Amino acid sequence: MLNQIRAMQAEFSKSETKVASAVLSDPQQYVKATMHQLALESGVSEPTIVRFCRTLKLSGYREFRLRLAQDLASQIHYQHSQVDANDSATQLVDKVISSAISSLSKVRSQLAAEVIDAAISVISTCARIEIYGVGGAGIVVNDAQLKFARLGLNSQPYSDIYLQRVAAGLLEADTCVLAISNSGRSKDLLESIKIARQSGATIISITASASPLAALSDLHLAIDLDEEEDQLAPIKARIAHMAVVDTLAIGLAVRSKPAYLERLRQASLVLEDRFETRNRRQ
Amino acid sequence: MLNQIRAMQAEFSKSETKVASAVLSDPQQYVKATMHQLALESGVSEPTIVRFCRTLKLSGYREFRLRLAQDLASQIHYQHSQVDANDSATQLVDKVISSAISSLSKVRSQLAAEVIDAAISVISTCARIEIYGVGGAGIVVNDAQLKFARLGLNSQPYSDIYLQRVAAGLLEADTCVLAISNSGRSKDLLESIKIARQSGATIISITASASPLAALSDLHLAIDLDEEEDQLAPIKARIAHMAVVDTLAIGLAVRSKPAYLERLRQASLVLEDRFETRNRRQ
DNA sequence: GAATTAAATGTAATAATACTACAAAATATA
DNA sequence: TATATTTTGTAGTATTATTACATTTAATTC
């Protein structure tokens, strides 16, 4: 709604403009204010406040304040803290899920759209994609492979460091490697990527900004999570990385229609008879 | 705040409980309601509404409604729609991530704390845990195994339906099976679970409410996502299920201190020399 | 099990807040 | 300059939230 107010400047009368600028100057303050207070501080009468609300196509001040609260609420970031042994199960659920949500919010704001675009076009045109990661990232690697395979892409996951190196040595110029790592500092992974580079593969990485891995990449999807080493850190990283993979996969699916979409549809049709009564994909 | 209301059930008086359940049954509705309406529909008097708000440590009904609006705003903000080919990369990122966030929000509000508690105690006391899932849930199964292994639990993942059946037949009374499925209707998985039951294992499931799988379970962690079959459905399900597994794993870690926590610490120390310069776990 | 006390709840009045009708300015138009 | 039109404010009304107090309900003690 704040954006709407900014956009509608032209349509406001003189006093309504006063109200608008008061609200825009410090929205937080007016979430708790009564109509009287807002009228006073913007130097207009109370009916003018009501008229201002009506100009915004709202029923009145009550709705205005509600909308303002909602507007600001979506900006408030999810706060969370360490889980400890005394937490109730409710608190446990809340902290774990909230921390996951907060890292997804970070991804949403950090992910560079142009790099996503570039990555999608590289992946959709390369002859083969291999996906590398070690440790906890192994899960993300397998997840990525599953998604890419469903799109009919020629993809291979390697979360074992020895297999990775062997595979990296065999790559060719029209292939590409998706490297996933939170720190971007795993020696083993870096070694594999160096080999892959020498083989001429295009390197796309999902990792932290100032990392050695980022430096070795042709395309770098930057994900920077908190530095702090809490118990939830690995979970946050994994959720964030998976979200990036999801974005790539969905992007590939919709960009390259109808080929991929058709393959997706078929992949689920094939499984139909393997479900009880109602049909829903696993 | 809705979570707070759920958590505080114990501290409410009889009439306050009526108010709480009215609010929880349909929070959306009461964002726009006056105190009078809420009083009427929960079958109590208006002062009781005020007292209810005060019990929540709020100044009164006005603040209550504000908070409720803000609570729901975070959900409203995360509404999303189908991704299509014309979307910009920015829109793509926004839609995919937002849909993930919205399913996590659902998990947060749906997850039954007491079942989580029960599941944690079953898992921490059983001799061995096996994790079953098919199709897309396979990723979640492997993820769960990795987490449980790090806690030093004796766990085994089976995403292959034949191995599952063999393993299920060999289970004993003090073992437990974690079954993961979105629909809870996969014939193959149901078959494995029936066998596991006959072997005397305790069945914990992460699946939809009214599903056959839920009916076969000793403990049921209900996750109900949207019925609609969009492209993002598998992603939403996987993220939601993983969040539940995360909650269990973290819960196990903090409840059973210091044993598990120490194992976790060791697991990361062992890997120290495998990272460049700064030390961060994958 | 009755009497006493404390807690919970509702009734009715009051205070606060939002809204409306109408009149006065201000501005535009002829 | 006179007249219409729009904008704004004053004062009153309606709605909504809150408080004070009475009543009921439940718990405790003898």
Inspect the interface and report whether the beta carbons of B77 and A76 lie closer than 8 Å: no
- First-to-last CA distance in chain B? 34
Q: Note the pTM of the prediction, 2 decimals.
A: 0.66
Residue in B with minimal Cα distance to A161: B274
| Predicted local distance difference test score (pLDDT) of residue B267 | 61
| Predicted local distance difference test score (pLDDT) of residue B146 | 84
Interval B154-188: pLDDT, tens: 999 999 999 999 999 999 999 999 999 998 999 99
CA distances from B257 to A56, A266, B16, B127 (A): 56, 48, 37, 18
* Closest to B206 in 3D by CA, of B140, B151, B253: B140
Inspect the interface and report whether the beta carbons of B104 and A97 lie closer than 8 Å: yes
Collect all residues of chain B within an 8 Å Cβ-Cβ radius of residue A243.
96-97, 100, 239
The pLDDT confidence band at residue B227, using thresholds 50, 70 and 90, is: low
Collect all residues of chain A within an 8 Å Cβ-Cβ radius of residue B216.
none
Q: Name residues 169-208 of chain A with a Cβ under 7 Å from nucleic strand D.
A: none
| Predicted local distance difference test score (pLDDT) of residue A80 | 55
- Rg for chain B (alpha carbons), in Å? 22
Inspect the interface and report whether the beta carbons of B281 and A234 lie closer than 8 Å: yes
CA atoms A204, A209, A213, A215: torsion sign: positive
Which of A230-239, A240-249, B75-84, B102-111 bottoms out in mean pLDDT, i.e. has the lowest? B75-84
Q: Determine which helix (DSSP H) or strand (DSSP E) holds A177, and give its type and residue range.
A: strand A175-180
Measured CA to CA, the distance from residue B225 to residue B108 in angstroms comes to: 12
Residue in B with minimal Cα distance to A59: B32
Residue A145: CB atoms within 10 A of its CB come to 22
The answer, yes or no, to whether residue B220 has pLDDT greater than 60, is yes
Angle between helices A89-110 and B233-255 (to 10 degrees): 130
Residue in B with minimal Cα distance to A84: B254
Q: Which of A71-75, A215-219, B224-228, B273-277 has the largest mean confidence?
A: A215-219
What burial letters (b/e) apply to B90-102, b meaning 16+ CB within 10 Å?
eebbbbbbbbbbb
Please provide the average confidence, as pLDDT, over all residues in chain A.
85
CA distances from A175 to A128, A201, B35 (A): 5, 5, 64
- pLDDT by residue for chain A (282 residues), tens only, comes to 776 787 777 778 888 899 999 998 888 889 889 999 999 998 999 999 999 999 888 889 999 999 898 878 765 444 556 777 777 888 888 888 888 888 888 888 788 888 999 999 999 999 999 999 998 898 899 889 988 887 888 999 999 999 999 999 999 999 999 999 998 999 999 999 999 999 999 999 999 988 899 999 999 999 988 766 666 777 888 889 999 999 999 888 887 655 555 665 666 666 556 666 544 333
DSSP assigned state of A77: P
| Predicted local distance difference test score (pLDDT) of residue A272 | 59
| Predicted local distance difference test score (pLDDT) of residue A278 | 47
In angstroms, what separates the C-alpha of A106 from chain B's closest C-alpha?
A: 10
Q: Which of A203-207, B60-64, B261-265 has the largest mean confidence?
A: A203-207
Greater confidence (B80 vs A40) lies with A40
Residue A3: CB atoms within 10 A of its CB come to 8
Residue A56: CB atoms within 10 A of its CB come to 18
Collect all residues of chain A within an 8 Å Cβ-Cβ radius of residue B278.
183, 185
E strands, B93-196, in order: 128-132, 155-158, 175-180
* Closest to B97 in 3D by CA, of A41, A10, A101: A101
Measured CA to CA, the distance from residue B280 to residue A186 in angstroms comes to: 9
| CB-strand contact B278/C, under 7 Å | no
Per-residue pLDDT averaged across B229-234, rounded? 72
Structure tokens at A38: 């807002």
Q: Which of B97, B143, B257 sits opposite A108 (nearest CB)?
A: B97
Q: What share of chain B is helix, strand, coil (3-state, %, to 5)?
A: 60, 10, 30
Residue in A with minimal Cα distance to B67: A69
Distance CA B102 to C1' D13 in A: 45
Inspect the interface and report whether the beta carbons of A281 and B238 lie closer than 8 Å: no
The pLDDT confidence band at residue B261, using thresholds 50, 70 and 90, is: low
Inspect the interface and report whether the beta carbons of B65 and A66 lie closer than 8 Å: yes
Greater confidence (B170 vs B236) lies with B170
| Predicted local distance difference test score (pLDDT) of residue A282 | 37
Q: Which of A111, A264, A278 sits opposite B185 (nearest CB)?
A: A278
Collect all residues of chain B within an 8 Å Cβ-Cβ radius of residue A89.
113-114, 116-117, 120, 251
Collect all residues of chain B within an 8 Å Cβ-Cβ radius of residue A142.
139, 142
CA distances from B120 to A12, B178, B221 (A): 59, 11, 12
Burial of A62 from C-beta contacts in 10 A (0-12 / 13-18 / 19+): middle
Q: Name residues 11-40 of chain A with a Cβ under 7 Å from nucleic strand C.
A: 14, 34-36
* Closest to B138 in 3D by CA, of A181, A273, A136, A147: A147
Inspect the interface and report whether the beta carbons of B94 and A84 lie closer than 8 Å: no
Inspect the interface and report whether the beta carbons of B250 and A83 lie closer than 8 Å: yes
Per-residue pLDDT averaged across B204-221, rounded? 93
Residue in B with minimal Cα distance to A142: B139
| CB-strand contact A52/C, under 7 Å | no
| CB-strand contact B54/C, under 7 Å | no
| CB-strand contact B46/C, under 7 Å | yes
Per-residue pLDDT averaged across B182-206, rounded? 95
| Predicted local distance difference test score (pLDDT) of residue A107 | 87
The answer, yes or no, to whether residue B263 has pLDDT greater than 90, is no
Mapped onto helix, strand or coil, the DSSP state of residue B111 is coil
The pLDDT confidence band at residue B77, using thresholds 50, 70 and 90, is: very low
DSSP assigned state of A135: T
Collect all residues of chain A within an 8 Å Cβ-Cβ radius of residue B183.
275-276, 278, 280-282
Q: Name residues 65-84 of chain A with a Cβ under 7 Å from nucleic strand C.
A: 65
Burial of A228 from C-beta contacts in 10 A (0-12 / 13-18 / 19+): exposed
In angstroms, what separates the C-alpha of B72 from chain A's closest C-alpha?
A: 8
Q: What share of chain A is helix, strand, coil (3-state, %, to 5)?
A: 60, 10, 30
Number of A/B CB contacts below 8 angstroms equals: 245
Interval B112-143: pLDDT, tens: 888 999 999 999 999 999 999 998 898 899 88
The pLDDT confidence band at residue B232, using thresholds 50, 70 and 90, is: confident
Inspect the interface and report whether the beta carbons of B92 and A250 lie closer than 8 Å: yes
Measured CA to CA, the distance from residue A73 to residue B64 in angstroms comes to: 14
Inspect the interface and report whether the beta carbons of A92 and B250 lie closer than 8 Å: yes
Please provide the average confidence, as pLDDT, over all residues in chain B.
85
Cis before A258 (ω within 30): yes
